[in-house]
Chain A
Amino acid sequence: MGIRDILKRIVSKDKKIVITGLDNAGKTTMVSFLQTGTFIEHTPTMGKEQVTLEVQGVRIDLVDMGGQRDFRSMWQGELDDAQFAIFMVDAADRARFKEAKTELNKISSLLQKIPLMVLANKYDKKDVASIKEIIEALGLQELSSFEIVPISCKTGYNIVKAFRKIYYKLTGSQLKKRLQPKALTIFDKGGVPLTSTSSEDVLKGGLFAAITSFIKESFKSELSQLKLEGNTIIFKKSKNFMGSIVIDDSEYKNLDEAEQGLDELLCHLENMCPEAEEDKIDEEKLKFLVEQYSTNLIE
């Protein structure tokens, strides 16, 4: 390593996160969710894959390790110069908790130097182990420190929350505060509301009626925004769905962010509900998808 290299390391703000965990835990699926904003089915990982994300000025190298037995011996080497470790576990696969614990123990000495986040994945499934159960099964309480967050790399549940925590541990500063939408509604392409989530009861009273009638109007017009009772309501159409998001007028400056969030959600829904193409929307499924994904938008 030359002098320039050393300097680069000190000056640059690159951070390295190594993602470990047994095969089939969902590591690669998470990386691709972070890149695309939705779920994609993958083949298993050969050895390791590396991607670089830029998050608010910090370059983050995510090293996605193969989880199969042949590759686990590589984890140590990668963790050696990492700033953060993720250990992912399939929360629905109780039969492999013991194996997961063994592998986690093998790297535990390294984990005294860098922070660890355990991601309990597949929390979209019904039969997942509770967080308490996972802490006990993996013996996490024996580690000097850890955090654990339930997530789903299929629905996006809690992914932003987990990465906010990681970012904070990694950089010592909070990710820029995201806007706080008050409500989110998804409609079919005919303008019929399918599901809503809200942080307060903002959708009670006249607002919801106003939104639904406006949605019908917006088919004809090019309008995509409405101001009402101190709120701004944003509308967006995708191929088979429409969405609206309500933000407080005081957050008007974050309009772009709200639009982008809504856009990402609609893309995700289009990807997850191909049946909507044939007008066969499963409302229960859609409701669940929106509920899980909106953990990234509404707290």
Chain B
Amino acid sequence: MYSERTIISKLGGNIGSHPIILTSYPVKDLAEDETKDLLSKCLPDGIKVGEFCIKRYKKHHLISYIFRVEKQEHRDDLFSFSILLHKKYQPDNYTPILKKIIDDLQDNGVLSEEILKDYQQEIYDGINEERDIKIESNLIELSDLFEKVKEEPSDEKPKLKGSFF
């Protein structure tokens, strides 16, 4: 698959904070307008932990998975993990991959803001190369999942099924 960008946004749970884009990879510097537009699509109003959200962003699908990160000093915060995917792909197919990455990090007790920042390149490359991702000592096995979602881009004619054809 080809993902143009991976984006992590957070709402900010402490007093005086506000929603921000935590990381955007590989495009790092975003104009103010772009940040605003992206944020409103990565973390739309009323979105809750565990939900997916699929929006259009320019020529892309913007797919997000919403999760929580536990904080020591403050209350837990709301995050989204998003990827920009070319519109020829079927976005629903990729939601399990986003979920798998975040849930595995959570299950292994390493889901934190720092990890997400430090490993943004590994996550981005892993997704684009459709391979497993290694974060600290944890291996997140994505290759099988990618196998499952292997699909023809949707702008090509669907394959016809059935023995008559």
Pair from one complex: yes
Query: Are B78 and A46 closer than 8 Å at their CB atoms?
Result: yes
Residue in B16, B46, B68 whose beta carbon sits within 8 Å of that of A43 in the complex: B68
- B141 sits at the interface (CB 8 A): no
Please, how many angstroms separate the alpha-carbon atoms of A24 and B18 in the complex?
13
Query: Are B77 and A44 closer than 8 Å at their CB atoms?
Result: yes
Please, how many angstroms separate the alpha-carbon atoms of A45 and B49 in the complex?
11
Please, how many angstroms separate the alpha-carbon atoms of A142 and B139 in the complex?
61
Smallest CB–CB gap between A293 and chain B, Å?
A: 23
Place the interface of chain A in its size category. Answer: 10 to 19
- B44 sits at the interface (CB 8 A): yes
Secondary structure class of chain A's binding surface, majority of residues: loop
Question: Which chain A residue lies CB-closest to B15?
Answer: A24
Total cross-chain contacts (CB, 8 A): 49
Interface residues of B in 12-28 (CB under 8 A from A): 12-13, 15-19
- B56 sits at the interface (CB 8 A): no
Place the interface of chain B in its size category. Answer: 20 to 34
Please, how many angstroms separate the alpha-carbon atoms of A87 and B76 in the complex?
23
Query: Are A47 and B15 closer than 8 Å at their CB atoms?
Result: no
Query: Are A68 and B12 closer than 8 Å at their CB atoms?
Result: yes
Query: Are B15 and A44 closer than 8 Å at their CB atoms?
Result: no
Query: Are B46 and A46 closer than 8 Å at their CB atoms?
Result: yes
Quick one: given A43-B75, A44-B11, A46-B11, are A68 and B46 in contact (CB under 8 Å)? no
- A125 sits at the interface (CB 8 A): no
Query: Are B77 and A43 closer than 8 Å at their CB atoms?
Result: yes
Proximity bits, A11-53, B CB within 8 Å = 1, else 0? 0000000000001100000000000000001111111111000
Interfacial chain A residues near B48, Cβ < 8 Å: 49
Interfacial chain A residues near B43, Cβ < 8 Å: 46
- B45 sits at the interface (CB 8 A): yes
Quick one: given A46-B78, A47-B46, A48-B45, are A68 and B18 in contact (CB under 8 Å)? yes
Residue in B15, B17, B47, B75 whose beta carbon sits within 8 Å of that of A46 in the complex: B47
Interfacial chain B residues near A48, Cβ < 8 Å: 45-46
Residue in A41, A47, A69, A70 whose beta carbon sits within 8 Å of that of B76 in the complex: A41
Query: Are B76 and A43 closer than 8 Å at their CB atoms?
Result: yes
Proximity bits, B51-79, A CB within 8 Å = 1, else 0? 00000000000000000100000011110
Please, how many angstroms separate the alpha-carbon atoms of A24 and B12 in the complex?
11
Please, how many angstroms separate the alpha-carbon atoms of A23 and B12 in the complex?
11
Please, how many angstroms separate the alpha-carbon atoms of A65 and B44 in the complex?
13
Smallest CB–CB gap between B103 and chain A, Å?
A: 16
- A96 sits at the interface (CB 8 A): yes
Quick one: given A68-B17, A68-B18, A70-B18, are A44 and B45 in contact (CB under 8 Å)? no
Smallest CB–CB gap between B78 and chain A, Å?
A: 4
Interfacial chain B residues near A47, Cβ < 8 Å: 44-46
Query: Are B12 and A44 closer than 8 Å at their CB atoms?
Result: yes
Question: Which chain B residue lies CB-closest to A43?
Answer: B78
Interfacial chain A residues near B12, Cβ < 8 Å: 44, 68
Question: Which chain A residue lies CB-closest to B17?
Answer: A68
Query: Are B45 and A69 closer than 8 Å at their CB atoms?
Result: no
Interface residues of A in 43-83 (CB under 8 A from B): 43-50, 68-70
Please, how many angstroms separate the alpha-carbon atoms of A23 and B16 in the complex?
8
Quick one: given A68-B18, A69-B18, A70-B18, are A43 and B13 in contact (CB under 8 Å)? yes
Interfacial chain A residues near B75, Cβ < 8 Å: 24, 41-44
Residue in A41, A42, A44, A69 whose beta carbon sits within 8 Å of that of B16 in the complex: A69
Which among A46, A47, A69 has the greatest number of chain B C-beta atoms within 10 A? A46
Which among B15, B16, B68 has the greatest number of chain A C-beta atoms within 10 A? B15
Task: Identify 22 residue pairs between A and B in the complex whose beta-carbon atoms are under 8 Å apart, listed by A's number.
Answer: A24-B15, A41-B75, A41-B76, A42-B76, A43-B49, A43-B68, A43-B76, A43-B78, A44-B11, A44-B77, A46-B19, A46-B45, A46-B46, A46-B47, A47-B46, A49-B45, A49-B46, A68-B11, A68-B12, A68-B18, A69-B18, A70-B19
> Can you add 15 more A-B contacts, CB < 8 Å, to A24-B75, A69-B18?
A23-B15, A42-B75, A42-B76, A43-B68, A43-B76, A43-B77, A43-B78, A44-B11, A44-B13, A44-B75, A46-B19, A46-B47, A49-B46, A68-B11, A68-B12
